[in-house]
Amino acid sequence: DSGVTQTPKHLITATGQRVTLRCSPRSGDLSVYWYQQSLDQGLQFLIQYYNGEERAKGNILERFSAQQFPDLHSELNLSSLELGDSALYFCASSVAPTPETHTFGSGTRLTVV
């Protein structure tokens, strides 16, 4: 157990729908990162939050959004889902807003049908 908790572990939904993925960072970690792992794009950075504020954005689609709450958990919202959004979504956390001490969660596998 890495200490980073992601829920749900699996999610199956239809095209056009909206889902929310949740991540609870390790105790004491202030920074949360979201990554997407897909067969065609590999592992890609989506977005980073530090202590509630957005710090960096990567290849995140406009249909996707995220936030980090005062208790430091984070949610990734995916809307108007397409088949191509099917992927494994990872959350990672770290104490500082730098990725050298990333700890990854076990991921949420999203299947869009």
DSSP state of 72: S
- Cβ proximity to another protein: between 8 and 99 the closer is 99
Q: Is residue 48 at the binding interface for another protein, with CB under 8 A as the rule?
A: yes
Q: Which residues fall within 8 angstroms of residue 7, CB to CB, at 6 or more apart?
A: 21, 22, 108
Among 3, 12, 56, 82, binds another protein (CB under 8 A): 56
Work out the end-to-end distance of the chain between its first and last CA atoms, rounded to an integer number of angstroms.
30
Residues that bind another protein (CB under 8 A): 2, 33, 35, 42-45, 48, 55-56, 58, 90, 92, 97-100, 102-107
